[in-house]
Amino acid sequence: MSIFLKSHYGKKQLTPQQIMTDPVLFLAFGFGSGLAKKAPGTLGTIAAIPVYWLFAQTQSLLIYSVLTVLSTVIGIWICGVAADKLGEHDFGGIVWDEVAGYLITLWFVPLSWQTMLAGFVLFRIFDIFKPWPIKWLDKHVEGGFGIMIDDVLAAVFAGGLLELMVYLNWLS
């Protein structure tokens, strides 16, 4: 028995192998990071770092924007399908919402290790504590859109605060 992985996931008791070999579940579980027993959302956000780095290499706000919007919109479908396959709405291992959330958080700030770290911390704070209206959305909106929307709003809050920090020269 692994200290990192469970043997089964969701009400439909899917195995790690089933999740890792199904393309939709593989994405929904953040390339496998959502399989963790502890803190799958935090690990899902960590899994988003190389995705952000790759997207940021385009050095084009337009291309980054298109990729981020596509990741978010397609994420609604990915998360909805994953919830159906697991038989459980907003199962903790579904972390594509964290991937999209991290991309949104860093959308309008310059690429640096400082913004990446601060964005990570701010996004996790807003995603974990869910101040109003994030918590309300989390509890009242169903389906793939419901899984995604609270993280999208947490990312907007975190991104706005991050932009302010950059504007005030608190970060490079």
Q: For the chain, what is the mean pLDDT?
A: 95
pLDDT at position 136 is 95
* Contact in structure between 109 and 74 (CB atoms under 8 Å): no
Contacts of 92 (CB under 8 A, 6+ apart): 34, 40, 41
At which residue do the structure tokens 């939709």 appear?
A: 24
Instruction: State the Cα–Cα distance between residues 157 and 172, nearest whole angstrom.
Output: 20
pLDDT tops 60 at residue 3: no
Q: Is the per-residue pLDDT at 80 higher than 80?
A: yes
Residue 171 pLDDT: 87
Q: What is d(CA 109, CA 163) in angstroms, rounded to the nearest whole number?
A: 6
What was the pLDDT predicted at 5?
78
Cis ω for the linkage preceding 16 (within 30 of 0): no
Residue 87 and residue 141 in contact, taking contact as beta carbons nearer than 8 Å: no
pLDDT for 131 beyond 60: yes
| Sign of the four-CA dihedral 89, 97, 68, 82 | negative
Check residue 6 and give its pLDDT: 80
**Dist CA 27 CA 99 (whole Å):** 10
